[in-house]
């Protein structure tokens, strides 16, 4: 009988309908946690939930658009009415605007990316901080991108949003590490076989990059480690 290291814990994974989010949600559920799945695609969320149930896990879907006003506040209210604490928060959902030169960035698309990648991150941290503080072993993991640290031509909009994303998480980690048990990790998944990657790299052979399950495996392993906060990690292996 396999061990369930997260048995009795509650996890929230954003962008859980597909890709890294779905794989991570399934892996965390397999490790024993009850996982709350968020995303905009209801059918895709239901499919992930069904796979978790079929594997003997436990999950709840919570369809929402992170860009919608008050959506995160409503989610926090719903979760706090059912559970006393949140043990794991994986901030995975993100929007990749169309790649373009800085001078040609589409304003509305950039605003939406900033809303989901940055403003929603702050809202998630603010809304769930009280529940995270009630956990005896709270962990927050944010998925970033290499372009946040090493900007690349034509990636300005996305890179700027992920750089701001990292700053928010790093500051939150510094603000909480000495007064709570919350630990924060910023993880760069590296090149991964996702729909977002396919849009950004249309000529790339999908088989040349690792599947989301490799990232999920590392995230579950990291969640079980006693890392110092803030912690930075990357997942580069191909499986």
Active-site positions? 158
61 phi and psi angles, rounded to 5 deg:
-90, 145
> Which among 185, 188, 238, 193 has a CA at the least distance from the CA of 212?
193
- Confirm if 25 and 47 have CB atoms less than 8 A apart: no
Helix (H, G, I), strand (E, B) or coil at 209: coil
- Confirm if 96 and 199 have CB atoms less than 8 A apart: yes
**DSSP H or E segment with residue 233:** strand 231-234
Helix axes 120-133, 71-82, angle to 10 degrees: 20
* 99-136: b (≥16 Cβ within 10 Å) or e: beeeeebeeeebeebbbbbbbbbbbbbebbbebbebbe
Structure tokens at 205: 């052979």
Structure tokens at 160: 């700027």
> Which among 84, 86, 81, 90 has a CA at the least distance from the CA of 39?
90
């Amino acid at each position: 009988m396999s061990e369930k290291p997260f048995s009795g814990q509650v996890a929230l994974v954003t962008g859980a309908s597909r890709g890294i989010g779905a794989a991570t949600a399934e892996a965390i559920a397999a490790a024993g946690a009850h996982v709350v799945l968020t995303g905009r695609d209801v059918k895709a969320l239901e499919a992930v939930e069904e796979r978790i149930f079929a594997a003997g896990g436990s999950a709840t879907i919570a369809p929402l658009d992170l860009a919608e006003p008050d959506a995160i506040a409503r989610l926090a209210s719903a979760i706090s009415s059912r559970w006393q604490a949140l043990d794991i928060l994986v901030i995975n959902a993100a929007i990749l605007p169309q790649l373009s030169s800085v001078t040609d960035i589409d304003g509305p698309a950039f605003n939406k990316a900033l809303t989901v990648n940055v403003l929603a991150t702050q809202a998630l941290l603010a809304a769930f901080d009280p529940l995270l503080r009630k956990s005896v072993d709270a962990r927050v993991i944010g998925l970033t991108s290499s372009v946040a640290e090493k900007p690349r031509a034509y990636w300005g909009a996305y890179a700027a949003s992920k750089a701001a994303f990292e700053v928010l998480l790093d500051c939150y980690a510094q603000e909480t590490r000495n007064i709570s048990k919350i630990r924060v990790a910023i993880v760069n998944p590296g090149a991964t076989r996702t729909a977002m990657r396919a849009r950004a790299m249309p000529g790339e052979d999908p088989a040349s990059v690792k599947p989301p399950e490799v990232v999920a495996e590392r995230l579950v392993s990291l969640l079980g480690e006693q890392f110092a906060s803030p912690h930075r990690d990357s997942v580069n292996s191909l499986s």
